[in-house]
Amino acid sequence: MSPQTLPAASATTSLTGAEIVLRALKEQGVDVIFGYPGGAVLPIYDAIFQQNAIRHILVRHEQAAVHAAEGYARSTGKVGCVLVTSGPGATNAVTGLVDALMDSIPIVCLTGQVATHLIGNDAFQEADTTGITRPATKHNYLVKDIRKLAETVHDAFYVARSGRPGPVVIDLPKDILVGKGPYTEAPKREHRSYRPQVEPDAGQIRKAVAMLKAAKRPVVYAGGGVINAGPEAAALLGKLVRMASLPCTNTLMGLGAFPASDPQFLGMLGMHGTYEANLAMHGCDVMFNIGARFDDRVTGRLNAFSPGSLKIHADIDPSSINKNVKVEVPVVGDAAAVLRAMIAAWDEEPAQQDREAIAAWWRQIDLWRGKKCLDYVQTGKIIKPQHAVKRLYELTKESGRETFISTEVGQHQMWAAQYFGFEKPNRWMTSGGLGTMGYGLPAAMGVQVAHPDALCIDIAGEASILMNIQEMATLAQYRLPVKVFILNNQYMGMVRQWQELLHGSRYSESYSEALPDFVKLAESFHGVGMRIEGADDLDRVIREMIAIDRPVIVDCAVDEKENVMPMIPSGAAHNEMLLASGQESGGGASVTDQGMGLV
């Protein structure tokens, strides 16, 4: 076999199982696999060695392989591919699989398995991978017949990318990989059983448009489903929002679906969302949710969530509709298809918007904006974390380079969401549903593989970054110039914040003791280490970091006691927000058809 190509194949050609897998991956458009070898998958690694069609990235931990594939998938819109061995290889991948499931990221994870005749015998490095991953995946397979191997791989990619995307596992016994069998091409026909509804029902679209047109206080609430539907969906969202003068807010996973700089953008919604976004949600009379699942971090206390509104929910996953919040108009369909249909139906709907009411609604929103809930004061040498993120955003924008941001999980994640403006979809990689510490570095690695000329930055905390710090070795091996920007406040910041607010400032096990010297740590991994001690050095170091064409860790010392505000306390409603010191919430807002005002 030529080292440049995979073997030619047809239904009558006999290939090894490992060759069949690689042939199917290539047919599915896979150009890179993130993985870690082990005994059960060595036949695949041997086949990888003998071809150059598909690149392999050697990670240092299987969890990181899945997060890297997530970053790759999230930034490209393609399916990410992972290869791990049996037993501990597969179980190490589970955290990443659950993360991808919660955030609807399309992943196909190939796991090795002991030979079929050993399954159930407690063989070396055996685990019940399909049993373990059943609740962690959208679907999984155990291949026991080599004649069905290629078909299974094709099926897995279809399931991963179709409908609501998600992770799929294919468990591959070693005897299947070394045996020989036929190759079958990807089917051109529709899937025999799984055919998600893409086009929305026309009657439901007419109801949704009529309800929105009749609204006096509308709001659009867009989530990660808009981004998963592709760049056209984000463009269509912008068109609908502007043509109808609608206020628009995004979830954490939806940031970038609507431009942050647009005057109709209210900012992020939810527990650490903006005052204006949350009060608009609380006080609206019609809510249009597209591609979001009414997550608890968005809704707050359910019985007080947007109590006076009629609700439209558009989602490709029918099981998400009426799951957490009852809605008046359910619309099942792909986000792009739904938005396209709504724009087309808008002009056909005879009713006209109440422009005076809409104008009054915008005046109320401007009053809420007047709170300037994200304002902070940067004085003296000690760096406010908000200021660090804002300057990082401004200086990356000044550089003119295409920039992708990933995060770990914690306070730094929320500050990144609040102060880094995203104008386009697919530029923001974060762990939303599962909240996985250790996500950001490998995710940035996957993005950098997909976009080698882009600026890829992981905004991190000093605690989270240590969860997958070993991936600095992967960056060095493949010369991936990922930048890690640590907001170092010496604490597990979000844990400390909750302990301060809810547990009488008893900081149990939240102080980050015995931290490494991050500068030396970066150098030990063949990268560049830099430290920022005071505000005067911030801009200079960020500019140097951007200019360096190598992996960089910047250890930025920030105010240890700063909290993420605004904040909706656990169990509270949207109009019961806590604001930063010196800002008064006014007890929320009272909004009726007769009048609007802060109370």
Per-residue pLDDT tens digits for 530-588: 999 999 999 999 999 999 999 999 999 999 999 999 999 888 888 899 998 766 554 44
What does DSSP assign to residue 534?
A: S
Q: Which two tokens stand for residue 574?
A: 């949207």
What is the distance between the alpha carbons of residues 415 and 533, in angstroms, rounded to a whole number? Answer: 19
> Pick from 233, 480, 181: which is nearest to 342 by CA?
233
Report the pLDDT value the prediction gives residue 192, as an integer from 0 to 100.
84
Q: Which two tokens stand for residue 48?
A: 């990888």
62 catalytic residue (yes or no)? yes
Task: Grade residue 53 by pLDDT with cuts at 50, 70 and 90.
Answer: very high
Q: Can you give the C-alpha Rg of the chain in angstroms?
A: 25
What are the residue ranges spanned by the domains of the chain? 14-182, 202-369, 385-557
Task: Grade residue 2 by pLDDT with cuts at 50, 70 and 90.
Answer: very low
Residue 94 contacts residue 132 (beta carbons within 8 Å): yes
Report the pLDDT value the prediction gives residue 191, as an integer from 0 to 100.
86
What does DSSP assign to residue 394?
A: H
- How confident is the model over 478-488, as pLDDT tens digits? 999 999 999 99
3-state secondary structure of 90: helix
Report the pLDDT value the prediction gives residue 11, as an integer from 0 to 100.
52
What is the distance between the alpha carbons of residues 164 and 92, in angstroms, rounded to a whole number? Answer: 24
Strands (E), 272-345: 286-290, 310-315, 329-332
Report the pLDDT value the prediction gives residue 559, as an integer from 0 to 100.
97
Report the pLDDT value the prediction gives residue 8, as an integer from 0 to 100.
56
148 catalytic residue (yes or no)? no
pLDDT for 7 beyond 80: no
Catalytic annotation, pick one of 50, 125, 197, 490: 125
- How confident is the model over 363-420, as pLDDT tens digits? 999 999 999 999 999 999 999 999 999 999 999 999 999 999 999 999 999 999 999 9
One of 3.90.1170.50, 3.40.50.970, 3.40.50.2300, 3.30.1460.30 is the CATH number of 385-557, namely 3.40.50.970
Q: Which residues does residue 332 pair with via DSSP β-bridges, in sequence order?
A: 315
Q: What percent of the chain has pLDDT over 90?
A: 90
Which residues does 255 contact at the CB level (< 8 Å), separation at least 6?
268, 417, 422, 428
Q: Which residues does residue 288 pair with via DSSP β-bridges, in sequence order?
A: 220, 312
- How confident is the model over 187-228, as pLDDT tens digits? 888 888 899 999 999 999 999 999 999 999 999 999 999 999
124 catalytic residue (yes or no)? yes
What is 14-182's CATH superfamily?
Thiamin diphosphate (ThDP)-binding fold, Pyr/PP domains (3.40.50.970)
- How confident is the model over 320-356, as pLDDT tens digits? 999 999 999 999 999 999 999 999 999 898 888 999 9
Catalytic annotation, pick one of 78, 174, 311, 384: 174
Report the pLDDT value the prediction gives residue 574, as an integer from 0 to 100.
87
One of 3.30.1120.80, 3.30.1490.120, 3.40.50.1220, 3.40.1010.10 is the CATH number of 202-369, namely 3.40.50.1220
Report the pLDDT value the prediction gives residue 179, as an integer from 0 to 100.
97
Over residues 512-531, the mean pLDDT reads 97
pLDDT for 597 beyond 60: no
Q: What is the pTM of this model?
A: 0.94
Mean pLDDT of the chain: 94
494 catalytic residue (yes or no)? yes
- How confident is the model over 108-132, as pLDDT tens digits? 999 999 999 999 999 999 999 999 9
Per the model's pLDDT, the better-predicted residue between 211 and 297 turns out to be: 211
Strand order in 265-268's β-sheet? 265-268, 248-250, 218-222, 286-290, 310-315, 329-332
Going 367 to 370 to 371 to 372, the CA torsion angle's sign is: positive
Q: What percent of the chain has pLDDT over 70?
A: 95
Task: Grade residue 590 by pLDDT with cuts at 50, 70 and 90.
Answer: very low
**Two domains, one topology: 14-182 and 385-557:** yes
216 catalytic residue (yes or no)? no
pLDDT for 593 beyond 80: no
Report the pLDDT value the prediction gives residue 585, as an integer from 0 to 100.
52
Catalytic annotation, pick one of 281, 437, 467, 494: 494
